[in-house]
Each structure stands twice: as C-alpha cells, then as structure tokens.
Structure 1
C-alpha cells in the first residue's frame, strides 16, 4: 500500500499572533516548500488548487470543497464570534440540535444564514470551529470526574478578564463593531458549560468607556434539572480570575486558570464527601490538540471520498453556534433590564 501523503493546508492570515511573513519563516523549518499568496488573486488560487484540502476560514472555501477550520464561525464575509469551550457538563445536558435555538440579535441572524448556506453544500466538506478550550486536558479530564460529585446543585462561572490597552486584542476593530462587543467575543470561550440552561436573567452594564458595551454581565441561570447557578463576566479587571465551580450532592469540582512551575494552564480540584481534596495541574495544550485532530480528520476524509467518515464532534461548527445561543439570551435579558429570557427551542 502506498504511503499516505500529508495533507496540504492553507492558512489564511496569521492575525494578531504574528505577521504572515514571520509565520512563513517558522513554517519553512518544517515544510520547505511553503509559499505565500496575497490578496484576492491569492485566495482565488487557493480555492482553485485541488491539492489543498484544508484551510482556516470562509464559506467560499467550503463551497469550493475545502475542509475549513477557523477560530470562529464566519458568516458570509463577516466574522461572528462563535468560539466555545467544551463544558464539563456538555455530555449530560447539551445534546441539542441547533434548530432548537433562535437568536435575538444580528450576529445570530448572520449565523443562521451561514449554517443554512453550509447545509446546501453537497457533499459537504468538514466545517470546524478551532476552539482550544474543547481540547484542553484540564476540561477533558475534569469531565471524567463529574460522576464523582453526583447530581448538580449549583454552578458558578466567574470570569474577570484583563482587556486593556496592553492586550493585543484591545485595538481589534471588528471586535468593536458588533452587538455584544468583548462580552460576546470573549464570553463564548467560557459559556458552553452552561448549555443545560433553560432560562436566564441578566444585568449588563457599560463602565469602561475605552471598551465597547456592555463590558459586564451578571446572570442567574436555571438548569434543566431545576437547580440554578450564576455566570459573571467582567471584560477588564485589575485582578484577573477565571474559575468554574460545580457543586454536586457528593462533592465539588473546580477548574481554575493559573500557572505552576512557570507554565500557564488550569488546576483541577476535586473535593469529595469524605473531605478529601485531589488536585491536578494541566498546562495549556489545546491549540496543538485541536489542530492535530483537524488534520487527522481531513486526512481521513480525503482518503474516503464517499463521505463515510466520522468527524470529531468537538470540532463541529455546531459547538460554536450552541455557545452563542446561551450568551445571546443573556445579552437579550440585559437589554430588557433583567427580564428572564428563555434559551428558546423551536
């Protein structure tokens, strides 16, 4: 059997991480034949190049038969912030079809159009949302511990971000150009663990005039099992903190962002009924893991031309869309001065 050739991948833009030319210099160390293409003509060449089977954005490329991954869902030519972290509770509570959700704002409308456009492609290539939180070992391993804390009583998600002029994303113009601002863009990274929510009541505010509003949301949530929780997010804080805490009948599970031995990552804490405390630290590695998974899936899809292949569910564009649905309800409640809003199901 002939050996499989590695997939040819196109990366459209290097974004804030580094310049495109710098990215090419790094890539050349591993892929000597890497080449640059520029502007609309370069994009057209990528679209028409049959040897390229995967890229990192846009429905134009999906329609051309390319497998696509991107840090957010791209609705037509507009960026719609739809990342999301795979919640510790996802496997129990979030097995919804996207059609069960309706969206209250313009971003949601564009998202629905993008999904409808993708659904019309046959055969459809892989459309993935590159969300490293879904692949972070802390959440992967933390989810396995959920059974040890029993039925859920309450959850707390506390996000105190550090979005200020020292942050490279601070001056990003597109993040300031849509309803929800940094709350929507940043918030979806933390929201998908709340997909068991049936209704929300939220208060939003705009305090920091250097940021688009709102820059704060405090939301009470009701879970499908009747218990409740809170989601609090501050976009810019002098004392950053990121923590998930899930209280069950048999114990409590906590995931907190931090560092250890010079490495950034997450500490997972399990508090058991017998007053034992177990602790694990997992350095960040989600970006590497989700890209490895994407490359593996598109390689398999390229071999099985009949479409008979299984895509890793954590890569699905639906994951990002479902994250937006809950946060969208919070933002809508905030606009209505805290009136409870259902996470609507058709």
Structure 2
C-alpha cells in the first residue's frame, strides 16, 4: 500500500475552519495534512489548533517564507488553495510550476481574460505526461442530488424549458457577508455564489449555455452591485430557460426545474431530520411524484476525488493520468463564462451575449 499523500492547505478563513478541516478529518485515513498556511502567523495558528484534534502532526506556516517552504517541500504532493478570489490563480500557478497538484476553490478566476492567461500558463507547464493536476473545487458537481438528477433526465423526455430560481440569504447574519475580497471582486456575490448554481444547471441538463440576455439591478445597498440578476438563456441543444438570482431575500429558496415532454424534474434545497441537502422530485405525465432527499456530501466527495487523483497520478507518473473531469479547471472556467456573459448583458441593458467557449 502506498503511504497516504501529504497535503497542505493555504488559507485559514471561515471556509477552511468550518468545512475543509472537518471534511478532511472525515477522510483522515486517506491523507496526511502537513501544513496550514496563512498570510499571518496568528490566523495560521488558530486553524492549526482546530486541525490538531484530527491531524496531530500538522504545522503552521505563514507569510512569504512559509509559502516558499511549502513550494520547496519535495514530499508534499497536493495543495488546497482556499484564499481570496483575486489571489488564488497566481498562487496556484506557482505551486503547479513547482510540480504540486492543486485543488483551488471556486471561482476559477475573476474573468474570462484572466482564465485564458491562466490556461496559457498552465499549458506551458504541462508539456509532458505526469504533469500536475489543477482542480477547481466545485462541490455542486459532486453532490449526490445532482449526480442522480443527471441520470433522471432521461425519464422526462425531450427538454422543453429550464428554470433556476435562487433567492439567497447573503445578509449581515451570514458569516461571508463582511468578506472584503468578495466585495472588491468583479461580479461580487453574483459571481462568487452564482458559479455553484450554474455548475449544477450545466451538470443536470448536459448541454452548454450558448447565449444569454439579462437585466441586472442594485437594490440592497449593503451589498456590492449588482445584487439581482434576471436572465433568459438558450442552451446549445436549443432549449430555453431562465436564471433568476436575488443575493439577499427574506425567505431563501433555491430551485432547479426542468420541464420535459414526459415529465418534470425538480431539485430544491431543503432540510430533513436536521440535515441540510436537496429534495429531488420527479413528476411523471400521469401526475405521480417520486421524491428523494440527499444530504450535502459534495465537499467530502470532491476532496476524496482529489486525493484519489493525486495518488494515482504519482503512481502513474510516466504514463500520464486522467483526473476526475468534474474537477477540471476548464469546468470551473465554463461556469464563470456563463455568469460573465449574464453580467455583461446586464450592463448593456439586456443585449444578447454569446457565452465564451472553453
């Protein structure tokens, strides 16, 4: 048996403390968490104290010297980059150039021009088999609800219409509300949150979004603009749909609904027996409804997939290894491209915009 791969986590913010450390702890038998890095010594130490309950050997690293130590560590196989959206791509590329496999938090990058530049840099590194894997952490593609929904699409016949309605809860009681980088990010919360909902949409329908026409507005002045987007879209398969996102609503609701010629498939965020997750409901032509609740499992599943990939890649170094496609940087890029097109259309009063292809 190969030794569990050694990994590092860059970042010590809310998501690392509330999600990454607990989810990595659930798969602690598969990996060794060697370092947690932050810009400051203080925040790194706080995160390490939490992680030590599960990974007693984990070490603190901080600042430029700490980052350099991680880059230079020949025994370190993979790194999770969980930083401010503006900083992630440059640091990911530094690590990839040093031969580390990277799983980077979404969004893939702030814009499609930045994605193109990043992909050019990555492709210049990847000139031979066995080069490092660059994953984007998009847990919605790993949620069992969407994995199962994709299979159920065959039961609703020809796709006729798609509706995605997102009424979010990004207000002062949300831990991410005061996150400064999201407020200074192109597209703000719409882009940062929205990539999840687009990822789920693209996965369910199995067709790319070809063009969009959107109206954007700014109503809640405690949020960066825009905070509301209402878009018509057309899929490459010819089907039309609507995507509506309100960043902060008094009664949150998150729903994907696909109407077909033989039935309708709906996925709705909800709660059952104290667990958060999704209800997947299949409505057949005879009025019957079959529904199943799937608790959240995406973060755990995407991390397991990454650990599996980096271990396989290290064992098959010379022959090259095909990593999990759902995590690829390209998939993350395609999510950003859809939202960027919607935001661009909104800034032009609803003009038709074609989605950039990656």
| Bin for the TM-score computed over the shorter chain | 0.7 to 0.9
Q: Distance in 2 between matches of 1:341 and 1:169?
A: 30
CA apart distance, 1:345? 4.8
8 Å Cα contact 1:73/1:317 also seen in 2: no
1:50 corresponds to 2:74: yes
Evaluate the alpha carbon distance shift between residue 307 and residue 63 of structure 1 in structure 2; reply closer, same or farther with a 3 A threshold.
farther
Coordinate RMSD, CA, aligned? 1.6
SS at match of 1:25: helix
Secondary structure of the residue aligned to 2:241 is strand
Task: Show the 5 A alignment for 1:1-346.
Answer: 3-17=1-15, 18=17, 20-57=44-81, 58-72=92-106, 80=109, 107-122=111-126, 123=128, 124-192=131-199, 193-194=201-202, 196-345=208-357
- Structure 1 equivalent of residue 27 of structure 2: none
209-218 vs 164-173, which moves further: 164-173
Cα distance in 2 between the residues matched to 1:7 and 1:345: 35
The Cα of 1:236 is off from its aligned counterpart by: 0.6
Secondary structure, in 3 states, of the residue corresponding to 1:240? Answer: strand
Paired residue secondary structure (2:331)? helix
* Post-superposition CA distance 1:61-104 (Å, at most 9, x none): 01100000021256xxxxx35xxxxxxxxxxxxxxxxxxxxxxx
Higher helix share: 2
- 1:98 aligns with none
Unaligned runs of 5+ in 2: 18-42, 82-91
Q: Distance in 2 between matches of 1:26 and 1:208?
A: 35
Residue 40 of structure 2 corresponds to none
Output the TM-score relative to the length of structure 2: 0.84
CA contact (8 A) 2:107 2:192 kept: no
Distance 2:166 2:60 in 1: 39
1:230-289 per-residue CA deviation (whole Å, 9 max, x = no partner) reads: 000000101100000000011000000010011000000000122211010000011111
- Structure 1: segments with no counterpart, 5+ residues: 75-79, 82-106
Say how many residue pairs are matched. Answer: 314
With structure 1 as the length reference, what TM-score do the two structures score?
0.87
CA contact (8 A) 2:107 2:336 kept: no
3-state SS of 1:204 partner? strand
Q: Secondary structure at the match of 2:179?
A: coil
Distance 1:73 1:243 in 2: 21
After TM superposition, give the deviation of residue 307 of structure 1 in Å: 4.5
| TM-superposed deviation, 1:24 | 2.2
Query: Structure 1 residues 317, 163: closer, same or farther in 2, change over 3 A?
Result: same
